[in-house]
Amino acid sequence: MKAHLPIDKRIRTGEKRENTNALILHWAAGQPKQTAHGIRYWQITSAQKGSYNYIVDNDGPLETIPPQECAHHSGTLKQYRKVAQEIGIPPYKHSIGILFCQQDIEGNPGEIIYNHLVQLCTTLCLQFYLSYHQIYRHHDITGKVCPRWFVNHPDEWLLFIDKVKEEVIRQDLYERFHTRTWYNGY
Ligand SMILES: [Zn+2]
């Protein structure tokens, strides 16, 4: 689903990215069980400056900024970790920002949102030719405890990356098989 934010100087400048080197995940710090539309509304009506390309809740991903445009996430004035150099400085100009809602204070996304996240990351990896190595936690960029669940459970993070990897391979093969690109040139 799409519900794009209005273009303004604060949360959506409309600037297009020159390259896409990463997917960066965030949690919806604050109350559990928020909705994507609720967060979008809050972004518009509050004075805060954070924005994301996608907000994921139980209904799936809500695209609030087109994936080719810069969203304002992963900081601008903080000390970046070394990995940020590989992505590009500032990282938000070289990455797609994804925020997911959580079920509890620990930040657990729950099974439904987890599965939506796997699918969204898979789709974006295939669309932007990204490897599963290019999926990051906000934490990897700035050291912030975000998304809390995957920072406090690093084993769960590795498992998540593995799931995306499996799904990218499965869908990529499926795509090739069904579009018969293997037969190109014959
Ligand atoms: Zn974050």
Q: What spacing in Å lies between the alpha carbon of 29 and ligand 1's midpoint?
A: 8
- Across the chain, the runs of DSSP E, i.e. the strands, are 22-27, 54-57, 60-63, 95-100, 135-137
Tell me, in angstroms, the distance from the centre of ligand 1 to residue 138's CA: 5
pLDDT digits (tens, 9 = 90+) for 157-184: 999 999 999 999 999 888 877 775 555 5
Is residue 13 one of the residues assigned to a domain? no
Q: How far is ligand 1, taken at its centre, from the CA of residue 109, in Å? A: 14
CA 26 to centroid of ligand 1, rounded, Å: 4
Q: Is residue 6 part of a domain?
A: no
Q: Is the pLDDT of residue 77 over 70?
A: no
Give distance in angstroms: CA of 81 to centre of ligand 1: 14
What is the tens place of the pLDDT at every residue in 41-55? 999 999 888 899 999
156 found inside a domain: yes
61 assigned to some structural domain: yes
Q: Give the distance (Å) from ligand 1 centre to CA of residue 98.
A: 9
Question: In whole angstroms, how far apart are CA 5 and each of 53, 95, 121, 129?
Answer: 10, 18, 21, 26
C-alpha pair distances (Å), 20 with each of 29, 84, 120: 25, 13, 15
Name residue, tokens 């990351």. Answer: 121
**Would residue 168 count as lying in a domain?**
yes
Position 44 in a domain: yes
- CATH number, domain at 30? 3.40.80.10
CA of 172 to the centre of ligand 1 (A): 29
User: Looking at 90-99, 111-120, 173-182, which range is the least confident one?
Assistant: 173-182
pLDDT at 47 (0 to 100): 85
Ligand 1 mean position, distance from CA 74 (Å): 6
Q: Looking at the domain assignment, is residue 12 inside a domain?
A: no
What confidence tens digit (pLDDT) does each residue in 12-41 have?
Answer: 999 999 999 999 999 999 889 999 999 999
- Look at residue 155 and give its three-state secondary structure: helix
Q: Which two tokens stand for residue 21?
A: 């080197």
CB 109 within 8 A of CB 103: yes
Q: What is the mean predicted confidence (pLDDT) over 110-129?
A: 97
In a domain, 3, yes or no: no
Number of independent structural domains in the chain: 1
By residue range, what is the domain housing residue 161?
22-183
Centre of ligand 1 from the C-alpha of residue 13, in Å: 19
pTM for the model stands at 0.93
